[in-house]
């Protein structure tokens, strides 16, 4: 009798689990070149002995705010290693939700032996200044989810950090990056906004499908056994996550597909992620984005025939072309004894299905560089489920 625990750690597909963790910090941040350049511009004087920088980063969940700040801090330390000693501290204000706890966490990260209790805020800030000056270093403080602290303690700590060098012989002690999902400037007093600089606000939009594709590909290359996934699988996962623009959703879908692929492994299984591994999460996706099978109920008869043709191909393939749609539609029309519609009408049906978020499309250049082709996919539904529903609906629809 085989041991059901043998599959744990077998690593048929997954080689490095760390890469599928939301908190994993990649060697290179992909899909955010413009945003990285914006952030770097806010710290253009940091190479000078007295230079500082400030930034306010806002954006929705999964838009890469934390990893943007984290990779910037790591990269700026390396970039200025021969010019200036840079230290960085990143505090999550959801966990340290008062100004006192935030300063205590900063001090503890710089000096693990520093006392946590018994000191006033003024004494803690004096200790912070002394620690930084003692090491002749510049400190970049990143306050993530800062709105949690602002609601409980106000913005006085930000004001104190921004003016920590006043009445001192030296300058350039601290740079500050604050991160929030919300329009955090609304929670700040005018004096703090003035010191932070309203022009230092960086707004991060949700990821596009192309940006998500880059992220998922990067995570797959780091985490998975070579040959266990294809570029089409990566694209399909990106398309499924694109409605939310949430990178965490894309990583979660990749991780779930890996888990299902590992689960079904035996001596006969193909050791690669298949389209079924991606689509098995469709029920939960449909609930989250409000897309259900009933979306096809109001289609016309020939729209249903076109979609049925697509479902039959997309049960086993990640994508198909318009040429595939037309040839398979012809077969379905013959099966249901219907006269085919024109090329233009079929194209209109496909665009309508895309508008209804039943399918998705991507236009790509043909490999020889001459012309372009449209790749159609079905990231939001399980093709087999739609196919079954259409086969039930079509006889009644055709005999109206």
What is the per-residue pLDDT across 217-254, written as a single tens digit (0 to 9) for each? Answer: 999 999 999 999 999 999 999 988 888 889 999 999 99
Question: Does the pLDDT of residue 101 top 70, yes or no?
Answer: yes
- How many Å apart are CA 50 and CA 46, to the nearest integer? 8
Residue 197 confidence (pLDDT) = 86
pLDDT tier at 283, thresholds 50, 70, 90: very low
Across 44-48, 137-141, 365-369, least confident range = 365-369
Q: Categorise residue 167: left if φ over 0, alpha if ψ from -120 to 50, beta otherwise.
A: left
Question: Does the pLDDT of residue 141 top 90, yes or no?
Answer: yes
Q: Which residue has the higher pLDDT, 131 or 135?
A: 131
Determine whether domain 32-203 maps to CATH 3.90.420.10: no
pLDDT tier at 164, thresholds 50, 70, 90: confident
Residue 267 confidence (pLDDT) = 55
Residue 286 confidence (pLDDT) = 44
- pLDDT-above-70 percentage for the chain: 89
CATH number of 4-17+208-280: 1.10.8.60
Residue 221 confidence (pLDDT) = 95
Mean pLDDT of the region 365-393 = 78
Strand pairing class (54-58; 174-180):
parallel
Residue 269 confidence (pLDDT) = 63
Nearest to 250 by CA among 233, 230, 228, 229: 233
Mean pLDDT of the region 156-169 = 84
Question: Does the pLDDT of residue 44 top 70, yes or no?
Answer: yes
Nearest to 172 by CA among 18, 354, 46: 46
Residue 288 confidence (pLDDT) = 45
Show the tokens assigned to 339.
Answer: 């006269």
* Residue range(s) of every CATH 1.10.8.60 domain in the chain: 4-17+208-280
Residue 289 confidence (pLDDT) = 41
- How many Å apart are CA 49 and CA 368, to the nearest integer? 53
Residue 353 confidence (pLDDT) = 93
- Mean pLDDT of the residues in the chain: 86
CATH number of 293-398: 1.10.10.10
SS3 label, residue 259: helix
Question: Does the pLDDT of residue 76 top 90, yes or no?
Answer: yes
Question: Does the pLDDT of residue 285 top 60, yes or no?
Answer: no
* Residue range(s) of every CATH 1.10.10.10 domain in the chain: 293-398
pLDDT tier at 169, thresholds 50, 70, 90: low
Across 87-96, 230-239, 247-256, 279-288, least confident range = 279-288
* Residue range(s) of every CATH 3.40.50.300 domain in the chain: 32-203
- pLDDT-above-90 percentage for the chain: 50
Question: Does the pLDDT of residue 117 top 80, yes or no?
Answer: no
- Rounded to two decimals, the pTM is 0.74
CA distances from 128 to 114, 165, 173, 178 (A): 10, 11, 10, 18
Residue reference for tokens 């990056």: 177
Contact 197, 204 (CB under 8 A): no
Residue 44 CB coordination number (10 Å): 10
Q: Which residue has the higher pLDDT, 6 or 350?
A: 350
């Amino acid at each position: 009798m085989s041991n059901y625990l043998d599959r744990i750690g077998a690593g048929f597909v997954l080689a490095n689990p760390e890469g599928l963790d939301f908190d994993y910090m990649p060697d290179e941040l992909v899909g955010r070149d413009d945003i990285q350049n914006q952030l770097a511009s806010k710290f253009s004087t940091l190479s000078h002995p007295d230079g500082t920088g400030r930034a306010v980063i806002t954006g929705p969940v999964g838009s890469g705010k934390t990893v943007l700040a984290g990779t910037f801090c790591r990269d700026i330390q390396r970039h200025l290693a021969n010019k200036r000693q840079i230290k960085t501290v990143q505090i999550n204000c959801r966990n340290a939700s008062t100004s006192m706890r935030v300063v205590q966490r900063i001090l503890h990260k710089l000096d693990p032996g520093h006392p946590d209790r018994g000191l006033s805020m003024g004494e803690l800030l004096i200790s912070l200044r002394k620690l930084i000056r003692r090491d002749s270093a510049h400190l970049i403080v990143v306050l993530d989810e800062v709105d949690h602290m602002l609601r409980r303690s106000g913005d006085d700590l930000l004001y104190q950090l921004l003016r920590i060098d006043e009445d001192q012989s030296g300058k350039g002690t601290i740079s500050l990056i604050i991160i929030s999902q919300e329009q955090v400037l609304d929670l700040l007093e005018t004096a703090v906004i003035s010191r932070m600089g309203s022009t230092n606000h960086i707004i991060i939009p949700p990821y596009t499908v192309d940006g998500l594709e880059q992220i998922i590909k990067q995570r797959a290359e780091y985490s998975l056994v070579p040959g266990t996934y294809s570029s089409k699988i990566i694209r399909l996962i990106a398309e499924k996550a694109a409605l939310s623009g949430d990178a965490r959703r894309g990583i979660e879908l990749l991780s779930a597909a890996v888990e299902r692929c590992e689960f079904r492994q035996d001596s006969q299984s193909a050791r690669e992620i298949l389209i079924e591994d991606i689509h098995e999460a469709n029920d939960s996706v449909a609930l989250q984005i409000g897309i259900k099978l009933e979306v096809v109920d109001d289609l016309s008869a020939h729209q249903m025939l076109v979609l049925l043709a697509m479902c039959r191909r997309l049960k086993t393939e990640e994508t198909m072309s318009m040429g595939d749609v037309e040839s398979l539609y012809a077969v379905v029309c013959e099966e249901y004894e219907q006269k085919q519609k024109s090329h233009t009408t079929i194209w209109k049906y496909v665009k309508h299905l895309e508008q209804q978020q039943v399918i998705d499309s991507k236009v790509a250049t043909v490999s020889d560089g001459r012309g372009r082709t449209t790749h159609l996919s079905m990231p939001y539904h399980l093709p087999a489920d739609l196919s079954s529903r259409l086969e039930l609906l079509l006889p009644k629809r055709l005999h109206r």
